[in-house]
Structures are given as C-alpha cells and as structure tokens.
Amino acid sequence: MGYRSRSSFKLIQLNRKFQFLQKARALVDLCAAPGGVPIKAIPSVVALIEDITTEKCRQALRKALQTWKVDVVLNDGAPNVGANCVHDAFSQAHLTLMALKLACDFLAKGGTSVTKVFRSKDYQPLLWIFQQFFKKVQATKPQASRNESAEIFVICQDKIDKFFDPKHAFKEVEVQAKAIKDLVHVKKPKAEGYTDGDLTLYHTFSTTAFLKADNPVDFMSKANEITFDNTELESHEATSDEVKECCCDIKVLGRKELRMLLIWRSKRRRYLAKKLKD
C-alpha cells in the first residue's frame, strides 16, 4: 500500500476509531525515527533530530512552529530495552511523561495527544496525570499491534487549559473557605476499610486466589496484578506468554483479554479438579 512503516496501520486504526486527524491543521510526531529505515523528505513536513527529554528539543519545536499551536501530538516512542524489565518499564513511563509535557506546551485548547504506554505498575499514575489535562482519556490496543506486545495507546482528547490560566490557578478564596467549613463540620468516615477514594493503591492477588474466587469478574475488577504462586500452573502449556503478560496489569485489559483470562481460569479449574480425582 506504499506506507513507509508498519506502525502506519496503528495510526490509521486509531484515527478510524477516534477521528482526531480529519480537522488537524498542524501536528507534532514525537519519536518518529523508524529504527534503521531511511526517511525520505515528506512535503510540508519539518524533520528535527532531538532528544524529547531536553530543553533543546522544546526550543527547536518552538522555532519551527513559531506562533502556531498544534491540534495533535503523537508519541510512538520506546526506550532501548535491556535485561532489567523494571528499569525498562520506568524508562518508558518517563518518556511518556516527557511527551505529555511537550504536548501541554504546544497543543491548542481542545487538542489531542496520542501516546504509547506499556503495561506496568506505572500505568495508573500516568492515567491520573492524563486526566488532569484532558477531558476525555481512553486506552486501546489497535489490531495492528502484536498480541504479545505489552504496548497500548492512550488517546487524550480535548486539552484543558484552565491550569495555565492565572484566574483559575490562583483562585484560592473559595477553596480556603470550603476547607475551613469542612474542618468545622467534620464527617465521621464509614468504617469500611479503604474503599472510598481507593484510586492509587496497587492490589496484587495470587493465581490460587483467582481460581478459588466465587465471582471471578468481581475479583478482576479489584485486582491490579495477578501473580503466579503455583509453578505447575505457570509452566503449563496452556499458560501462554500472553496470559502471563495480561496478569501483570489487569486494569488496562480490554474485553478480549479479560475473556481470555476467564477462559484460562475455567480450564485450569477443570484441570485441577480432574487431577484431584485421579
């Protein structure tokens, strides 16, 4: 079809679903290096070779755009991976955060940021940050993305500019008055644990608990990660790499992946029940 990179199909599928390119007049594509594939000149495109984590990159973008604000910022970047998966996940999260910082600088009000994120424990904090600067934040995995890949894409639509408006940022009088009122009228919280406002806690459960759960759907809604405490289950041929990858971060899974885990659970329960009978 003449596309210069396989990732073109990811962009086409994302745009088909979220419609963010149709009305875009200016766009910044971060980390557009295709990994060894030469890029020929593209009409009406200015190419910059910079490190997006540096101030030099910001200055180069500002010089190229002049007074323009862009409608879309894309980020398909990924760090060089090594043997330490924890370090790799953090490096990816850091890269995503730097891309968001540039997006906030150059996006017009109501603009869209599309960024790649890998499934890890850093996903939820990143999602919370996205939600502070955009009205609509959705995560998805395009079909062109490999099933075994941990990458997902977060589409942040309708950029909010109120945090950069001094009238909003320094509006403290009403906030202080409400805080004083709340101190005077203290409401006793319900003695029901940490359910209320439990948005940042990271919940890890074992596969044994998952298999024994009376309501597996409710179980997965409360879990961030399911760890393998049974080596036999982990090494079983039915426990694919995709199953293991999905267990690493339940919160970012779509219906397809959740259904796959439920099917895997049913099969493992039958397998263990048969083994006990024998």
| CATH number of domain containing 63 | 3.40.50.150
Mark 117-145 as b/e (b = at least 16 C-beta within 10 Å): bbbbbbbbebbeebeebbeebebebbeeb
199 in any annotated domain? no
Q: Which residues are catalytic?
A: 116
Rounded distance, CA 177 to CA 108, Å?
A: 33
- In this structure, the strands spanning 225-227 and 151-159 are unpaired
Range of the structural domain that residue 273 is part of: 204-277
Quick one: CA dihedral 116, 118, 122, 125, positive or negative?
A: positive
Q: Can you tell me which residue has the tokens 């149709």?
A: 22
- Please write the tens of the pLDDT for every residue from 96-116: 999 999 999 999 999 999 999
Rounded distance, CA 49 to CA 79, Å?
A: 16
251 in any annotated domain? yes
What is the reported pLDDT for 169?
A: 57
The share of the chain scoring above pLDDT 90, in percent, equals 40
Residues 11 and 86 in one domain: yes
What is the mean predicted confidence (pLDDT) over 17-37? 86
Rounded distance, CA 71 to CA 68, Å?
A: 10
What is the reported pLDDT for 123?
A: 84
- Please write the tens of the pLDDT for every residue from 163-216: 666 666 556 545 555 554 554 455 555 554 445 555 456 788 999 999 999 998
What is the reported pLDDT for 180?
A: 46
Contacts of 190 (CB under 8 A, 6+ apart): 196
2 in any annotated domain? no
Boundary-marking domain end, from 138, 164, 190: 164
Please tell me the pTM assigned to this model. 0.62
Q: Can you tell me which residue has the tokens 């200016």?
A: 26
What is the mean predicted confidence (pLDDT) over 70-91? 80
Mean residue pLDDT of the chain comes to 82
